[in-house]
Amino acid sequence: MTCFADSARYEIATVTENVRLARDTMRVRIAAPEMARQAVPGQFFMIRIATGNDPLIGRAFALYELDPEDRAWFDLVYLVKGRLTTRLAELRPGDPLAVWGPLGNGFDPIACDHLIMVAGGIGQTPFLALGKEALGRQAYGTPPRPSGYASDVTFCYGVRSADYLSDVDRFQQLGCEVLVATEDGSAGPAQRVTDVLEQVLARQTGRRSRIACCGPEPMMEAVAAMARRYQVPCQVSLETPMACGIGICFTCVARIGTPHDWDYKRTCVEGPVFDAHHVQW
C-alpha cells in the first residue's frame, strides 16, 4: 500500500502574512520552501500553534496556493471557527507555527475536456491550486506532475451568504468559469451549489467531464449521487477530523468500498481524496 506521509517534513516555520479574505475567512502565508516544493493540489498540512499546548492536537488545512516563482512559501485559507483557528488568526508576520506535511494523496491530474470543481463553503480551499494546475498555469510537486490537463474549468462555489465568498476574482482571472450559489440569495437567486452543478451537468454534450468536490459531507454525498446519475467520474476530498495526520492513530477512518465489500481507510494517508462512488456515505 502506498503511504502518502512518506515525504512529509516537520518544521517550526515562520508566518509571513495573515490577512482577512472574507467574513471569518483568513489566509496565512507560511515560509517553508522544502514543503512547498513537494505539495500538490488536494494535499494538506497539519498545523499546531508553536507556543503552547492549546489545542494539543493539530488541525489539517488544504494547500491553497504556492509561491509561483521559487516556491519559497505556501498559503492556507481557513475559517475562523474554534480553538486552533481563533489562535491562528491572532498570529502576525514573524511568528512561529508548527507545520507537518505535505500529507495525503491529492486530486488525480487526469486529462479531460471539462473539470468541474464543486465547493461548499470553506471546502473551496483545494481548488485555486487545482484550477491553476488543470489549466496549465502552474506545475506542482518534485518532480513536477502533469499540468494543463483540462481544456475548461468551471468552479461551482456555494456559500451561506455573499460575505463568505473569497477570492472569486482570482478564480476568474485564472480563466475558470465561476458559478456562485448563495443559500440566502445575497448573490443571485437563492440556491444550493448542487442546483448550479445540475445546470452545468445538464448542458454537457459528449464532453469528457470530471468532478472534483470538497465541502460538508451531505453536500458531497449529494454531488456524488448526481455524478453517478450523469455518469461523470467524481473525486471527493473528505474532511474527517484528524489527530496525527500520518497514519498512526486511526482517528480519521472512513468507510470505503472494496470490490466485494467495504473497509475502513485512513483519510490522512489513503485519502483525503477518494473516488466518490467508493465512499460509503
Q: Which residues bind ligand FES (CB under 6 A)?
A: 242-245, 247-252, 266, 268
Query: Which residues inside 124-153 make contact with ligand FAD, applying CB under 6 A?
Result: 125
The reply to whether omega before 189 is within 30° of 0 (cis) is no
Among 9, 20, 83, 207, binds ligand FAD (CB under 6 A): 83
Site for ligand FAD in 251-280 (CB under 6 A): 272
Instruction: Pull the grid cell for residue 176.
Output: 475558470
**Nearer residue to ligand FAD within complex by CB, 120 or 272:** 272
Q: Three cell numbers at 5?
A: 506521509
Instruction: Tally Cβ neighbours within 10 Å of residue 53.
Output: 8
Of the pair 12, 248, the CB lying nearest ligand FES is at 248
> Binding to ligand FAD by residue 212, rule CB under 6 A?
no
State which residue, 102 or 131, has the beta carbon closest to ligand FES.
102
Contact between 240 and ligand FAD per CB under 6 A: yes
Q: Respond yes or no on whether the N-terminal peptide bond of residue 126 is cis (omega within 30° of 0).
A: no
Q: Which of 32, 35, 62, 234 binds ligand FAD (CB under 6 A)?
A: 62
What would the grid cell of residue 263 be? 473497509
Using alpha carbons, select from 26, 197, 216 the residue that is nearest to residue 121. Answer: 216
Q: Of 161 and 280, which has the nearer Cβ to ligand FES?
A: 280
Instruction: Tell me the CB-side half-sphere exposure of residue 109, using CA atoms within 13 A.
Output: 21
Residues 9-48 that bind ligand FAD (CB under 6 A): 44
C-alpha span between 9 and 268 (Å, rounded): 15
Residues forming a β-bridge with 265: 254
Stretch of 12-20, 83-91, 111-119, 145-153 contacting ligand FAD, by CB under 6 A: 83-91
The candidate with the shortest Cα–Cα distance to 44, out of 109, 130, 164, is: 130
Decide if residue 61 touches ligand FAD (CB under 6 A).
yes
Per the listing, cell 451561506 goes with 160
Binding site for ligand FAD (CB under 6 A): 44, 55, 59-62, 76-79, 81-85, 122, 125, 239-240, 242, 272
